[in-house]
Amino acid sequence: MHSIEIPPTPIPTKAIKETVTTDVVVVGAGIAGLKTDRDQAINTIMEFGAYRSEQRLVKLWADNCDGVMDWLLDMTEAAGTFGRLAGLNAAASTKPG
């Protein structure tokens, strides 16, 4: 299990400054954020490419990007470079968590 799969410590109620009610929340626009709604991601990518992209290829990417990220994280963890991939200011051999 990767450290990004471990839920964070709950935030104390006193520390919450604002509560927002929404249907969907996407934090970030990276692979993890796009994973939340693949159809919307595909449509957005197609739109940004003026619908010139091959939609089957974009769908193939959307359907497999999370598996590729897992594969990449496994490789970097094995090589001791997990911290660099995650963009942390930690030593290369330090795994966050």
- Tens of pLDDT, residue by residue over 6-54, are 888 888 999 888 888 877 665 555 655 555 577 888 888 899 999 999 9
pTM for the whole structure: 0.43
The count of C-alpha atoms lying within 13 angstroms of the C-alpha of 94, restricted to the half-sphere facing its C-beta, is 7
**DSSP secondary structure code for residue 35 in this structure:** H
CA distance 94 to 96: 6
| pLDDT above 90 for 57 | yes
